[in-house]
Every structure is written in C-alpha cells, then in structure tokens.
Amino acid sequence: MNAPHLNRSLVLEGVVRTPDGAGGFTLSWTPLGTLWAEVLPGSGGDTPGEERLLSAVPYRITVRGAPVGSGSRPVAGQRFREGTRLFLIQAVTERDPFGRFLTCFAREEVPK
C-alpha cells in the first residue's frame, strides 16, 4: 500500500440542531478542526434534491487515523469544507490494518 498524498486542507464540520421555539429546529454547521487529506473522485450522477436536481459526485477522502470517539475522527453525518465546496461524509473506515489512515466515503452535491 502506498502512503496517501495528503495535500489538501479540509475543514471538518459537525451539524448543530437548535430549537426554533415552535417545536422544530434549525440546522447549522460548526467547524471542528482542519485535516490534511487526499481527495480522489469517483463517477458522478444526478439525484433529486429539495426543489431542484443535484449533480452528485462520490469521493474517497483519506485523512490521518484517529481513535474511535476522538474529536478529530470524522463520522458519517459530518462534512468537509474546502472553500465553497462541501463533501458530505457517508461512511468512514480504516484504510490499513494499523489504522494509520482513514478513508471517508463522501459525496459532493453541486446544485444545477
């Protein structure tokens, strides 16, 4: 296995649910830290979104390993931000048997 080329700085963000006072809630994203990553694209396609069609592209994003439960370990439901680009994390697994690197399966959604 070759070591990944961690050449892109991504901000890991977590979702925060805040009560709106009317029985519902609003969602906002808060930065959790910056991770260096290797970002490799997959093949894309179209998916329905709220009120519009989205072009969805899957990505494999590799970052340094962190123990389960650590604040620096990405989890499904979080996202990476690179400027205006957003990568929604769908799953996370160890890339190697020693846990030195993690592979995050993510999807970038681009409004059409």
Ordered DSSP codes for the chain: -PPP---EEEEEEEEEEEE-SSS-EEEEEEEEEEEEEEEEE---EEEEETTEEEEEEEEEEEEE---TT-TTS--TT-EEEETTEEEEEEEEEESSTT-SEEEEEEEEEEE-
What domains appear along the chain, each with residue ranges and CATH number? 8-111 (2.40.10.270)
User: Is pLDDT of 21 > 70?
Assistant: yes
User: Is pLDDT of 112 > 90?
Assistant: no
Phi, psi of 80 (to 5 degrees): -105, 145
Q: What is the pTM of this model?
A: 0.82
pLDDT at 53: 58
> In angstroms, how far is CA 67 from the centroid of its own chain?
17
Region of 73 (left: φ > 0; alpha: ψ -120 to 50; beta: rest) is beta
Task: Say what percent of the chain tops pLDDT 70.
Answer: 85
User: Is pLDDT of 74 > 60?
Assistant: yes
User: Is pLDDT of 48 > 80?
Assistant: no
> What is the band of 45 on the pLDDT scale with cuts at 50, 70, 90?
low
Q: Which amino acid is at 102?
A: L
Residues sharing a CB contact under 8 Å with residue 22, sequence separation 6 or more, in sequence order: none
> What is the band of 50 on the pLDDT scale with cuts at 50, 70, 90?
low
pLDDT at 49: 55
